[in-house]
Amino acid sequence: MLIEIPELFSTAEASVIRKQLEQADWIDGKATAGYQSGKVKSNRQLPEDHPLGRELGQRIIERLTTNNVFMSAALPQKIFPPLFNLYAGGESFGYHIDNAIRPVKGTQERVRTDLSMTVFFSEPDSYEGGELVIEDTFGTREIKLAAGSAVLYPGISLHKVNPVTQGARISSFFWIQSLVREDSERALLLQLDVAIQRLMHDTPGHAALEELTGIYHNLLRKWADV
């Protein structure tokens, strides 16, 4: 299940965030790569404990938790503190699968990476290349979204970032541990939730609403990992 979330931040908000990040001190992106992914990773990122990264990461989480699409699709239990990366001058990240478990720096917390997320802060016409390429059950998808928009996809997906040959691509990336770890089950719950919301809008008070809502919660009760 691949979900695009448009305008998580407005164009103006994304521009301000991008300008802040452009002034930051970046380090080698291999700092957070596993052994295998480190072999194909060539980019820069903010240190995990960078004050600006912490501040902007909290803004992202606050925005996500008020976004109905994200909450319905991800059913988040934990959100890894967002990280930030930069690709320019031919930098890229070859095909890889994210580590299954991510420790949160400076804490005893660990996050199971059921879902991966990228929030784009550079306008797509300001750089060449840099597409997020995701292999899923529907084939190969290339994602290059407007600044302020985000994409959510299963953590088990094979994915890469194409080389950025001109300009710079700045984004945030992080992971979500869901209440429901199986992607197909999350997809069914999202389908049912969307259908309930549509029925509620089109035919308020319909007799089936109570039954369908009960089915949704019974499935969530059956599948939730709490």
Contacts 24+ apart (CB under 8 A), 40-44: 40/93, 40/94, 40/95, 40/96, 40/160, 41/93, 41/94, 41/96, 42/90, 42/91, 42/92, 42/93, 43/85, 43/86, 43/87, 43/91, 43/92, 43/93, 43/161, 44/85, 44/86, 44/87, 44/91
Please tell me whether 169 is known to bind a ligand: yes
96 appears as a binding residue in the annotation: yes
- Write out the two tokens for 124: 């797509």
Does the annotation list 217 as a binding residue? no
Are the beta carbons of 179 and 220 closer than 8 angstroms?
Answer: yes
Give, for 145, the enclosing helix (H) or strand (E): none
Output the known binding site for 2-oxoglutarate: 169
Output the known binding site: 96, 98, 159, 169
Output the known binding site for Fe cation: 96, 98, 159
